[in-house]
Structure 1
C-alpha cells in the first residue's frame, strides 16, 4: 500500500493505542493530507486481519460519503463495500463495509446491524452532547457490540463551544493518537505553500454581540455587509487574483455572499454563490464548473468549509470574522491541496483571523470560556520590516530577516497596507553546524528510560532531543525512524544501554535546523555530509 510516511505512522499509532487497550482515538491530519486514503487503508487492513469484521464509515455530507467510498474502491476494487445515504439514493444495509451519512442511519441501527469498527470522518462536527444524533447512534452501536472500536479523523480536533474533542465531560474520544503538522507537510512537499497579502480593507466587528462563543450571524452580517466595504475588498481581491485560477470567498451571510458575488461579476469575472439553501443539482453543477475552470470564484456562506475537495483553489478570501479557531483552519485548509501548475495559494485576511487565532500551522484550541474577555488578544505579531504576520514567539521573519519588536501592538482589526503577510508561523532558523554530539540515559519516573541525544553547536550552544526506544507504538516508531536515518541500520536497539553502546555506528549530521511548530513541539531538519536531509517532528525535549 503506497502510503506517505505520516499516513503510515498515523495508522501504526492507532494500532498501538488499541494494543494498549485505549479507548476511542483521534487521528488529526490537515486538509489535503489524504484522510480518505488513510480510511481506506484502515478498512483494508482491518478486514485482512479480521475477515469477518464489519466496518462502518460515517460522515455528514454525501460528497464525503462518495469520496471515501470511491477511495476504498480505487485502493481495493473488490472491496465488499456499500452505501447508505438518502442523498446518494443507496441503502446497502447489509454491506460488510458501509459508508453512510449520519442523517440517514442515526436511528437505523437495527436495520444496518452491528459493527466491529466505526470510523467517523470530520469528527469535529460531533457535538459533545450525548443526546445528539451522533451520541445516540454510537451508544446504540456499542450496546449491540460492547467491544466496538471507534476512531475519528479530523483536521481540527476542537469545537468553539466545548474545546478539544478529547477533553472534558461527555467527550466521545479519549485521546489524540496521532497529529501531523501543517508546516511540516508543506515543508516536505505534501501540501501547497500558503502566502498572504496585507489588505487595506478590514472588517470592523467592534460591538457585534456573541452567542455560544461566536458572533450572532444576523448582527455579524449587518456589520460587514456594507457596499463600500464590499467594493473595496473585491477590488483588492481581483487585483491580487490576476493570474490565479480558482478563488473562494467565505462570507458572513447569504446577502453578504450575494453582494460579494455581484461585485466580482461587475469586475468582469464569473462568480456564483453557494449556501445551505442551494439545491443539490445546482450545487453539483456550480462545483463542477468551478473545478473545470468555467467559474472563477465561488462565494460561500455556511458551506465549503469542510468536505470541499477542489485542489485547484489558489486564493481564499476570509470575509467572515469568527471566534472559532476550527472554522478559521477549515476555511484556510481549502487551499492546501496541491494541483498541477499550482505553486502556492494566497490567503487574503480581511477578517483579522490570522492575528486573532495565530498562524495556521500553530493555532491552538480555545474553548468559548477561554475566549470570553480576550477578544482583543493578539496571537501573532507584525514584522516591522515587511509587515509579515509571524508567531508571537518567533525571533526572526522569513520574509525579510528583520528582528521584530518584542511586543505586539494593537488588537489587530485595523487595516495594514504593508507587503506580504505570511499565514504560516514562518521562520526557519539558520543551519547550525554540529561540532559534536553526546548520548546518555534519560530517567523518567512514570515512563521507561529514554535516550537523550545532545547536539553540540558553535559558541558552546547545544540542542537536545529524547528518543523513546523502550516505549511501544508511535513513540518507538519515531525513535526507530530516527535511528535508521542516522545510519544505525534497520534493527534499532530495544534498550537505551544498547543504543549508547552502539552509538559509534551512527552518522553524525553535518548541521541541524530547528523551528517551533507549536507551543510544545518542534521540527528538526538534519543535513548530512553527503547532502542527504532528514526531517523529524517531535515534542520539545
Structure 2
C-alpha cells in the first residue's frame, strides 16, 4: 500500500474484503479507542479503489475533528487520493469526488447531491439508531433508494448503543455481524495502548433509590444524589493525583460538573468544564487548553465520551454512575492513548519494546478512580460483554443491573480486578479460588461463628521475614514481604513503581518499618536498602474470607504499641 500498517490493521482490512468477496452484507468492526481506526479506514479505502477504480465511497462521522483526522490519514496513505470533504463546519461542500468524507449533520438530507455510493463507512457507528429514525437512518434510507446495492461498514470501540442492545442484534439492526475485534486488552498486551490501573474511591454514590428508564439511571435523579460525595471525592482526587498531570472527571449533569470544577478550583487546581450549557465556543476553548496542558482538570457532563483525543490523560475520575456498557467503555477509553518517549518509533520492535517504552514514558499508565460503582458492576473494561463461544448477541442488552458484582477490590493495593482473578496484577496479592465477591467490604472483612460476630485481630509473633522481588507481566516489579510465624507465612506487597495510591502506601510502609527518607522509588532501590528496615516483633492479622489482612504490627522499641495501617 506504500505506507506501514500494524498487523491488526491489516487483519481488519482483510476481514472486510474477504467478507464482501464471500457475499456478506454490512459488517461491524470493533476496535478500541486509540488503536488507529483512521488508518484502517484509509487502508480500506485505498484498497477498494485499487481493486475497483469506478467505486464511489462515502465516509460519515458526527464530528468535524474526526473528519479532519480521517481525511489526514487517507492523504498520508494516498497523497493523490480523489477525495473531497462535505462539512458545513469546515466550510467544504465537495460532493462529486469518488471518495467523500462528510459530517452527518451536513449530508443526511443531501443524497441527491452526493449521488449513488457503493460503500458507506461510518466511524463511531454506535451513534446510529437501531430503528428507522435520526439523521444516519435518513441518509442510509435515501441512499439505498438510489443505490440498493450499497453496503455499509461500521467502526466502533463499543458495539452497543446506549439506549438498546448490540449493534449486530435485533430485527431492525443495520449491521449483520461483528467480523473483527481488537479490544483494549489486546492493545495493551501489544504495547499500543497505555495500561489502566484502578481503585475504588473513598466514597461511592448511593444509587439505591435512583429510578431507571430504558435500563439506565434517570439523569435528573442521578445528578441529585451525586452531589453528596463531591467534597470527599475532590479531596481524594487532589491527594492521589499529585503526581498526575491531566485529570478527566465524568459527571452526571451540568450543575454537578460546575460544582466539581468549583471544588477543584477552591483547592488551587486549574479546571474547566465541558457541557451543553456552556456559551458557544467555550467547550472548544476548554478542550484545546486541556489538550495543551493549560488546564489540569476537565469536568465533563456527557460531552467527551467519543471522538476526543487527549493522549496526556493520566487520571480519570468516574463520578457518573452508568449501567451502559457502551458508556463505561467509552469513559475508560479516554485514558488509554499513549504518550511515547521522544524519538521512539512505536511501529518498530516487538510488543515488549513498546511496553517498556510506555513504562518509561511521561505517562506509564492511567489511573481510574471509581466513585460510582461502575467497575464493580461492569467488571474489567477489557472483558465486558460475553466472550464465550456460545455468545448470542440477541440476548446481550448492553446493560448491567444495579447490584451486579463483576469486580472485587484487592486488599493489598485497592486495585479493582476481575471477580474471578486469583492474583492481583498490581501488587501480586493471591486470592483463594473459592473466594466469593465482596459486597460490603468493611462488613465482610471478618466473620465469626455466628452471623454478625466480628473477630478481633490476632497478634502473631514473627520469627523471620523475607523481602523478594515480585515480577508480573506487563506491570512494574514490586517488593513481596513474607512474614514467617511458626509454620505459617503472611505476605504483603510494596508497589513503589506503580504510582498513585500504591506507591504512597509503599512509602508509608517504608517509614513505619524504620526506613529513612528519601523513600525508595524503585524495587531495586528498596531491596538494596533493606538493612535500614526493622522487622516487626508481631503482626496483627484479621481473617478475610480464606486469606488474612495484616492490620497492625509492633516493633522491638515499642512492643506494646500497635502501628495500625
Q: TM-score range by the shorter chain?
A: 0.7 to 0.9
In structure 2, do the counterparts of structure 1 residues 374 and 320 end up closer, same or farther at CA, with 3 Å as the change threshold?
Answer: closer
Aligned pairs for 1:35-434 (under 5 A) are 35-226=37-228, 229-340=229-340, 341-364=362-385, 374-398=401-425, 399-404=427-432, 406-411=434-439
Residue 166 of structure 2 contacts residue 396 of structure 2 at CA under 8 Å; is this kept in 1?
no
Output the CA distance in 2 between the equivalents of 1:298 and 1:73: 32
In structure 2, do the counterparts of structure 1 residues 259 and 404 end up closer, same or farther at CA, with 3 Å as the change threshold?
Answer: farther
In structure 2, do the counterparts of structure 1 residues 64 and 243 end up closer, same or farther at CA, with 3 Å as the change threshold?
Answer: same
User: Unmatched 5+ residue regions in structure 2?
Assistant: 341-361, 387-392, 446-470, 475-565
Output the CA distance in 2 between the equivalents of 1:328 and 1:316: 12
User: 1:339 Cα shift?
Assistant: 0.8
Task: Give the SS at the match of 1:230.
Answer: helix
Residue 352 of structure 1 contacts residue 413 of structure 1 at CA under 8 Å; is this kept in 2?
no
The CA RMSD over aligned residues, in Å, is 2.5
User: 1:71 Cα shift?
Assistant: 1.8
- Deviations along 1:43-74, one digit per CA (max 9) or x if unpaired, are 11111112221111111112212221122123
Residue 385 of structure 2 contacts residue 396 of structure 2 at CA under 8 Å; is this kept in 1?
no
- Deviations along 1:263-311, one digit per CA (max 9) or x if unpaired, are 1111111111001243453222222211111111111011110000111
Task: Give the SS at the match of 2:382.
Answer: coil
Residue 205 of structure 2 contacts residue 226 of structure 2 at CA under 8 Å; is this kept in 1?
yes
Task: Give the SS at the match of 2:16.
Answer: helix
In structure 2, do the counterparts of structure 1 residues 78 and 412 end up closer, same or farther at CA, with 3 Å as the change threshold?
Answer: farther
Output the CA distance in 1 between the equivalents of 2:416 and 2:432: 10
Residue 323 of structure 2 contacts residue 399 of structure 2 at CA under 8 Å; is this kept in 1?
no
- Deviations along 1:341-382, one digit per CA (max 9) or x if unpaired, are 211111111111111001001011799996889421211233
User: 1:159 Cα shift?
Assistant: 2.3
Task: Give the SS at the match of 1:42.
Answer: helix
- Deviations along 1:107-135, one digit per CA (max 9) or x if unpaired, are 11111111111000001111101233222
User: 1:20 Cα shift?
Assistant: 1.1
In structure 2, do the counterparts of structure 1 residues 26 and 271 end up closer, same or farther at CA, with 3 Å as the change threshold?
Answer: same
- Deviations along 1:222-250, one digit per CA (max 9) or x if unpaired, are 11123xx2111111111121121211101
- Kindly name which structure, 1 or 2, has the bigger radius of gyration based on alpha carbons: 2
1:420 — aligned with what? none
2:465 — aligned with what? none
Residue 199 of structure 1 contacts residue 416 of structure 1 at CA under 8 Å; is this kept in 2?
no
Output the CA distance in 2 between the equivalents of 1:126 and 1:116: 19
In structure 2, do the counterparts of structure 1 residues 221 and 65 end up closer, same or farther at CA, with 3 Å as the change threshold?
Answer: same
Output the CA distance in 1 between the equivalents of 2:415 and 2:292: 33
Output the CA distance in 2 between the equivalents of 1:358 and 1:201: 18
Output the CA distance in 2 between the equivalents of 1:156 and 1:414: 34
Q: Is 1:27–2:48 an aligned residue pair?
A: no
Residue 313 of structure 1 contacts residue 345 of structure 1 at CA under 8 Å; is this kept in 2?
yes
In structure 2, do the counterparts of structure 1 residues 109 and 16 end up closer, same or farther at CA, with 3 Å as the change threshold?
Answer: same
1:434 — aligned with what? none
1:485 — aligned with what? none
User: 1:198 Cα shift?
Assistant: 3.0
User: 1:91 Cα shift?
Assistant: 1.3
User: 1:389 Cα shift?
Assistant: 2.4
Residue 397 of structure 1 contacts residue 404 of structure 1 at CA under 8 Å; is this kept in 2?
no
Output the CA distance in 2 between the equivalents of 1:415 and 1:159: 37
In structure 2, do the counterparts of structure 1 residues 404 and 351 end up closer, same or farther at CA, with 3 Å as the change threshold?
Answer: farther
1:442 — aligned with what? none
Task: Give the SS at the match of 2:192.
Answer: coil
Residue 315 of structure 1 contacts residue 346 of structure 1 at CA under 8 Å; is this kept in 2?
yes
Output the CA distance in 2 between the equivalents of 1:373 and 1:263: 31
Residue 162 of structure 2 contacts residue 398 of structure 2 at CA under 8 Å; is this kept in 1?
no
TM-score by length of 2: 0.70
User: 1:143 Cα shift?
Assistant: 2.1
Task: Give the SS at the match of 2:81.
Answer: coil
Residue 428 of structure 2 contacts residue 472 of structure 2 at CA under 8 Å; is this kept in 1?
no
Residue range with higher mean Cα deviation, 125-134 or 31-40: 125-134
User: Unmatched 5+ residue regions in structure 1?
Assistant: 418-425, 430-541
User: 1:388 Cα shift?
Assistant: 3.1
Output the CA distance in 1 between the equivalents of 2:363 and 2:192: 13
Output the CA distance in 2 between the equivalents of 1:146 and 1:427: 54
Residue 198 of structure 1 contacts residue 349 of structure 1 at CA under 8 Å; is this kept in 2?
yes
